[in-house]
């Protein structure tokens, strides 16, 4: 009887601590700003075949600019992992895509970084980084 009550109270006490630890972990992850990591289970757009740090809205916008720049048909599949080269883009096309993205998002990409972009995902990640810097 007494031992049962004691173990019950111990387990009750343990819970608040676990919750506190979890809360502090979440805080440290988010680091005071909106985290790109989502702890909620969320239905990702079915077009995204890989997980990536950039927001789906950013990826979708990037896809739209790429589609327009390369004059792709609606049927052509573009995902976050799609390489510009796989869509038939040469290096001049890629420059145009990057310029189009700069205009769409109102940012300027440093030349070295811009030249290293080869996929939608990479473009979206850099864009969000630049938008964050701009918002400071």
Give CA–CA dist 95/111, Å, rounded. Answer: 10
CB closer to another protein out of 22 and 110? 110
Total residues contacting another protein by CB under 8 A comes to 21
Supply the minimum distance, in Å, between the C-beta of residue 33 and another protein: 30
Scanning 11-19, 68-76, 88-96, 125-133 for contacts with another protein by CB under 8 A, the matching segment is: 88-96
Out of 69, 70, 94, 101, which residue is the one contacting another protein (CB under 8 A)? Answer: 94
Q: What are phi and psi of 10, to 5 degrees?
A: -60, -45
90 counts as catalytic:
yes
Could you say whether residue 116 binds another protein (CB under 8 A)? Answer: yes
DSSP state of 86: G
How would you class 108 by CB atoms within 10 Å of its CB: exposed for 0-12, middle for 13-18, buried for 19 or more?
Answer: exposed
How would you class 125 by CB atoms within 10 Å of its CB: exposed for 0-12, middle for 13-18, buried for 19 or more?
Answer: buried
Supply the minimum distance, in Å, between the C-beta of residue 102 and another protein: 9
Q: Name the residues annotated as catalytic.
A: 90
């Amino acid at each position: 009887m007494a031992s049962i009550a004691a173990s019950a109270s111990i387990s009750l006490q343990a819970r608040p601590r676990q919750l506190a630890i979890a809360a502090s972990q979440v805080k440290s992850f988010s680091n005071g700003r909106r985290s790109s990591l989502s702890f909620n289970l969320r239905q990702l757009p079915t077009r995204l075949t890989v997980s990536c740090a950039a927001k789906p809205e950013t990826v979708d916008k990037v896809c739209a600019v790429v589609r327009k720049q390369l004059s792709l048909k609606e049927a052509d599949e573009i995902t976050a992992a799609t390489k510009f080269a796989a869509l038939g883009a040469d290096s001049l096309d890629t420059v145009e895509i990057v310029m189009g993205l700069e205009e769409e998002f109102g940012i300027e990409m440093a030349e070295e970084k811009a030249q290293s972009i080869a996929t939608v995902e990479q473009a979206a990640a850099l864009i969000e980084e630049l938008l964050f810097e701009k918002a400071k």
